[in-house]
Amino acid sequence: MFRFALRPAKPGAGSPANRPALPIRGWSRIGAAVLVTVLLLGALAFVYWKTRPLDERAVVEISGQLRALKELEARWDTLLLRSATDTERGYESAVNLVPMVGKTLRALQQSSTRLSSSTLQDKLPDMIGAFQEKNAVTVRFLSESNFVTTSLPEAQQWFIEYLSALRTTRRVDETTRQALLNLDRVATQAAADLGAFAIDGSTERARSINDALTAIGEARPDYTTARLTIAREALVKLGREVVSRKQLSVELFKVISESTAGQELDAVITGFETELRVAAAEQQRYRTALIWYAAALLALLAYFGWRLAQSYRMLNQVNDDLKDINESLDRRVTARTAELSSALAELQQSETQLIQSEKMSSLGQMVAGVAHEINTPLAYVKNNLGMVDDRLGTIVDLIEHFDQLLRMLQSTDTPEQQLREQFARVDRDLEAMRNRNTLGELALLVQDGLHGIDRIAEIVLNLKDFSRLDRLKVQVFDVNQGLESTLLLARHLLKGVEVRKLFGTLPPVLCAASQVNQVFLNLVTNAAQAIEERGPGAGLITLTTKAVGHSVMIEVRDNGKGIPPDVLPRIFDPFFTTKDTGKGTGLGLSISFKIIDQHRGKILVHSRPGEGTTFTVLLPANQSAASVEDDDPPAPAATADGSAPTMPAALSAP
């Protein structure tokens, strides 16, 4: 027995070799390391993401667009005012402003999508809406004021025409003259007012112009002319339209002036600039944090690198140790293997010797049994021959007396008296033989002797059958016949034991017959030895055979003392015996187990102390030799009450 340790086990040494390999703790450590790494990397990614610059181009674009819009907004009111006065350039400039604003708004809207700015998201849509509304109102305003500026000269022309027509009208009387003069004054004043109204758009002027136009329209001088009528109607119509359109343009201008677009633009510009400033400051903060974080990570990395280098060194050390240990282990294993091989060889030799000794012991017992078995017939053959020898003396005497009588009869000089005496002697001998029935006795003695010799021949034949010494190889074997010859040889053990045979029809088994017979004999011997009470109705051994699937089942059941549970697991161990010295070797079952195992069979045991034991042997049937027949009901019980001499187990070497 040898042991080795990677290192001397110092408590708390902490070397990897000393640490217990606990897979669950290992996994949880790996999990924690992965989690920490993910968290660190996540934090790094977050900080880095926070330091990323804004889309510079978008910022520049948006800032430029906001500035341009601011400039347009600043120019807006002035241009609108100019458009009202400066008919040509004012209108042109103002009209050009509208698409410029629209274009800038669209560009701004597009650029804002490239930047995630809360100000732009929150305020830009309202601001754009306000500008679009202002633009739309401006378009209407420009149209109205353009109408006014373009129609004003025409209206003034009609004033001139009206005044001229008025002045050429005949003044028939003073009333008419006064009325015409009045109309002239009203029209002149209205013409002047219209010019001023086109510039200032004041409500009072509009009212006075409208009043004047009403007065002009309603006045009907007595001597009116067609020219006056045309001029009056055209003047009133155009004058009213110019006034109302101018009023509308004034209203629209008011709406434009009150538009919140400019303030909203300012709010957007201020908000956007503040946001940019805040973002820049935040970016700066995160940059500083990133630098610190990266430095900390580098330090951590350096620490882990250092630990790794240390672990690597330690690992190398452990590896070297392991290599040394492995080499020494290899050497020890080689030495150990050599030791084991020689031990195995020794063991095999001792096993062979053991089996041999068991065989010798069994053979010794068997020889004693056979001798005992042969002894009885031999004894009465000897006795009979002795008696024949004894009877032969009488016959020899008779033959001798006959011989003397013959010789006397052949000789001529034999006295008659002698002849008579010889006849009487022969007659006496014959009478005695007849009386004693010597010949009948002799015939009987010879017959008995022959019978004894027959018994001996039968025993020898059984012995031969049992051991099959002449056929040691594997052969087709009839299990039932094997059991029969086993019983015959174990007859001496079965005195006072009833043997019940429940034999089924079996397929043949391919096996070493002498070895399987040896197993049967061991089981029957053990069963007989386990039965302590003998006599009618006491000891019973039941032998059952059956074909079970592709196997043959042999069951040896006894109603003996049984096997205690603590003994049961050891009965197949070599040399385990509970029997007295000289009665058991403790090898019978271990050899039986080996034999059955070599035949790829099974041997099972079931026992109840006080009730009996059942050994079950399963042997594979020889499928090629004969097909397995269906299970036949077991044959009726046959009782063999042994009266033969002792015949112990015969073991042949496996």
Using an 8 Å Cβ cutoff, are 561 and 532 in contact? Answer: yes
**Footprint of ligand ADP on residues 264-323 (CB under 6 A)?**
none
Please enumerate in sequence order all residues whose Cβ is within 8 A of that of 397, keeping only pairs 6 or more positions apart, or say none: 429
Using an 8 Å Cβ cutoff, are 187 and 196 in contact? Answer: no
Please enumerate in sequence order all residues whose Cβ is within 8 A of that of 216, keeping only pairs 6 or more positions apart, or say none: 162, 183, 186, 187, 190, 232, 235, 236
Selected range binding ligand ADP among 41-49, 332-340, 465-473, 574-582, rule: CB under 6 A: 574-582
Please identify which residue in 530, 547, 552, 617 interacts with ligand ADP, judged by CB under 6 A.
530
- What is d(CA 394, CA 341) in angstroms, rounded to the nearest whole number? 76
Please enumerate in sequence order all residues whose Cβ is within 8 A of that of 173, keeping only pairs 6 or more positions apart, or say none: none
Our CB check for ligand ADP shows the closer of 467 and 559 to be: 559
Least CB distance from residue 605 to ligand ADP, whole Å? 8
Q: Is 576 in the site for ligand ADP (CB under 6 A)?
A: yes
Our CB check for ligand ADP shows the closer of 221 and 588 to be: 588
Q: DSSP class of residue 569?
A: G
Task: Tell me, letter by letter, the H, E, C secondary structure of 506-523.
Answer: CCCEEECHHHHHHHHHHH
Please identify which residue in 242, 527, 554, 618 interacts with ligand ADP, judged by CB under 6 A.
527
Our CB check for ligand ADP shows the closer of 327 and 611 to be: 611
Task: Kindly list the distances between the CA atom of residue 215 and the CA atoms of 126, 194, 236, 366, in Å, as whole numbers in the listed order.
Answer: 49, 15, 10, 169
Q: Is 585 in the site for ligand ADP (CB under 6 A)?
A: yes
Least CB distance from residue 591 to ligand ADP, whole Å? 8
Beta-bridge partner residues of 540? 498
Our CB check for ligand ADP shows the closer of 193 and 558 to be: 558
Our CB check for ligand ADP shows the closer of 491 and 557 to be: 557
**Footprint of ligand ADP on residues 546-565 (CB under 6 A)?**
558, 560-561, 563
Inter-helix orientation angle 588-598/261-410, to 10°: 110
Between strands 497-503 and 539-548, the pairing is parallel
The neighbour count for residue 409, using CB atoms within 10 Å, is 12
Please identify which residue in 151, 157, 210, 577 interacts with ligand ADP, judged by CB under 6 A.
577
**H helices, E strands: number in the chain:** 13, 7
Our CB check for ligand ADP shows the closer of 318 and 568 to be: 568
* Type and span of the H or E element at 383: helix 261-410
Least CB distance from residue 563 to ligand ADP, whole Å? 5
Please identify which residue in 94, 194, 268, 589 interacts with ligand ADP, judged by CB under 6 A.
589
Using an 8 Å Cβ cutoff, are 284 and 45 in contact? Answer: no
Least CB distance from residue 578 to ligand ADP, whole Å? 3
Please identify which residue in 146, 522, 544, 559 interacts with ligand ADP, judged by CB under 6 A.
522
Beta-bridge partner residues of 501? 543
Least CB distance from residue 530 to ligand ADP, whole Å? 3
Chain centre to alpha carbon of residue 291 = 46
Our CB check for ligand ADP shows the closer of 468 and 561 to be: 561
Our CB check for ligand ADP shows the closer of 31 and 564 to be: 564
Selected range binding ligand ADP among 304-312, 446-454, 579-587, 632-640, rule: CB under 6 A: 579-587
Selected range binding ligand ADP among 15-23, 338-346, 525-533, 596-604, rule: CB under 6 A: 525-533
Selected range binding ligand ADP among 216-224, 314-322, 403-411, 588-596, rule: CB under 6 A: 588-596
Q: DSSP class of residue 628?
A: P
Tokens coding 575? 């040399």
**Footprint of ligand ADP on residues 608-637 (CB under 6 A)?**
613
Beta-bridge partner residues of 603? 617
Closest CA to 155 of 244, 222, 79, 221: 244
Beta-bridge partner residues of 612? 608
Closest CA to 517 of 486, 553, 555: 486
What is the SS3 assignment for 630?
coil
SS3 percent helix, strand, coil of the chain, rounded to 5, is 70, 5, 25
What is the SS3 assignment for 614?
strand
Please identify which residue in 64, 195, 217, 584 interacts with ligand ADP, judged by CB under 6 A.
584
Task: Tell me, letter by letter, the H, E, C secondary structure of 343-378.
Answer: HHHHHHHHHHHHHHHHHHHHHHHHHHHHHHHHHHHH
- What is d(CA 149, CA 46) in angstroms, rounded to the nearest whole number? 64
Selected range binding ligand ADP among 230-238, 261-269, 583-591, 633-641, rule: CB under 6 A: 583-591
Least CB distance from residue 533 to ligand ADP, whole Å? 14
**Total residues at the site for ligand ADP (CB under 6 A)?**
22
Least CB distance from residue 517 to ligand ADP, whole Å? 15
- What is d(CA 632, CA 85) in angstroms, rounded to the nearest whole number? 135
Selected range binding ligand ADP among 193-201, 205-213, 420-428, 577-585, rule: CB under 6 A: 577-585
Least CB distance from residue 579 to ligand ADP, whole Å? 4
Q: Is 452 in the site for ligand ADP (CB under 6 A)?
A: no
Selected range binding ligand ADP among 382-390, 403-411, 439-447, 520-528, rule: CB under 6 A: 520-528
Please identify which residue in 526, 542, 551, 559 interacts with ligand ADP, judged by CB under 6 A.
526
What are the backbone dihedrals phi and psi of residue 141, each rounded to the nearest 5 degrees, phi first? Answer: -60, -45
Q: Is 588 in the site for ligand ADP (CB under 6 A)?
A: yes
Our CB check for ligand ADP shows the closer of 272 and 615 to be: 615
Our CB check for ligand ADP shows the closer of 119 and 522 to be: 522
Our CB check for ligand ADP shows the closer of 187 and 571 to be: 571
Our CB check for ligand ADP shows the closer of 486 and 526 to be: 526
- Give the x/- contact pattern for ligand ADP in 11-30, rule: CB under 6 A: --------------------
Q: Is 654 in the site for ligand ADP (CB under 6 A)?
A: no
Selected range binding ligand ADP among 135-143, 312-320, 403-411, 519-527, rule: CB under 6 A: 519-527
Our CB check for ligand ADP shows the closer of 459 and 530 to be: 530
- What is d(CA 148, CA 91) in angstroms, rounded to the nearest whole number? 12
Closest CA to 530 of 482, 599, 583, 573: 583
* Type and span of the H or E element at 618: strand 612-620
Binding site for ligand ADP (CB under 6 A): 522, 526-527, 530, 558, 560-561, 563, 567, 571, 576-579, 584-590, 613
